[in-house]
Amino acid sequence: MNRVFIRSAGLVPVGEHWEKGLADLMYEAASNALLAAPDVKPDKIIVGNMFSGYAEHQEQLGSLLASALGMAGVAAIKVEAACGSGGVAVHEGYLSIKSGEYENVLVVGVEKMKDMGTGKATKALSMAESAEYTQVTGASFISLNALLSKVYMAHYGRKDEEMASFPVIAHRNGVTAGHAQFRKEISVKDVLSSAIIADPIRLLSSPPAGDGAAAVLLSSKGGEVEVLASEVATNQFIFQERENLLDFMASRIASSRALAKAGIDLSMIDFMEVHDAFPVVAALALESMGISKPGMAPIDAMNGRFNGDGELPIGTFGGLKARGHPVGATGAYQVAEAYLQLSGGAGKNQIGGAKIGLTHNVGGIDSTCAVHVLRSAI
């Protein structure tokens, strides 16, 4: 089977792109990646996205991008896995090259959220959960994460100020990230004094809605970064026959499989891009992957373990909280950011001596998880 490398990446700063449409965003990210590797011609395009049909009345994103790039004739598809769409799109690109069927695959994650407004975006996000078991109750995606937070905090005796350590880390890293939506530090006090969205989740502990697109150009012909392994796993939908709410089974399975296939031990990981949509999601992901002991991830965060200069930096460009969370694009942003770290192109966000990184992207509340293990090939 072929080895899979990343030749280049292209990023659009996350934010409010009122003047740009969905096609503009993915074209910009794709063009940036292609310009950085002019000798590579994609023979397949994969677009990760969640909302285009609901929000933009536009499907066929693969063909739409191929047409915009002047690549009519190339194989092109769209991938959807809720907030994990970007990561799963990269996974499909990895498999396309690994199998030997394709040599160069352009993967783009894209989302246009601001045009929807808060009400429509809230309804759209609820589609990540079961229409039959969850949506009919009127529960929003944030309220489900709030309920999970309550369960976690009660079970382990965690406090609000401990959970707030995750958004504080994210914002600290986002300050120097040029593509981050929010480039401002916050304190634990700031988090705890911000408005309650769904108790105990507050405004500054929840990710912003934003527009954005990120692209990675995968190739079998070598590159500065190699994708050692890519895995996707699933879990029961939250509150639908899930035996243990505090076990992120999809995260646990996908990460263990990926590490095993890569021949990498957790102790060898230099940094992680974790799906820190809410503090409880970051905590349960880190614990289910075996990085922190059960109930201890917030304490590890508070004690500096996950800082940029800590034992295992996370969210090195601000994560979902500060970089932003244009949902269908998030997993692609993570892989692009890992590429920048491992190719030495992270600028002021560079993790010194980074050789191996892991990205973790989930759809729903751990209903789908995509994990990639990457290594510098320099």
Token couple for 152: 């976690």
Distance CA 189, CA 15 (A): 25
Beta bridge partners of 253: none
Distance CA 17, CA 25 (A): 9
Which letter does DSSP use for residue 114 in this model? G
Distance CA 167, CA 184 (A): 11
Helix (H) or strand (E) holding 219: strand 212-219
301-to-167, 295, 311, 329 alpha-carbon distances in Å: 10, 12, 11, 26
- Residue the block writes with tokens 């601000």: 318
> Of 329, 333, 294, 289, which is closest to residue 315 (Cα–Cα)?
333
109-to-133, 206, 294, 313 alpha-carbon distances in Å: 29, 21, 32, 24
- Residue the block writes with tokens 């914002």: 171
Beta bridge partners of 9: 216
3-state SS, residue 73: coil
Catalytic residues: 83, 325
Beta bridge partners of 329: none
Q: What is the CA radius of gyration of the chain?
A: 19
- Residue 129: how many CA atoms within 13 Å on its side-chain side? 22
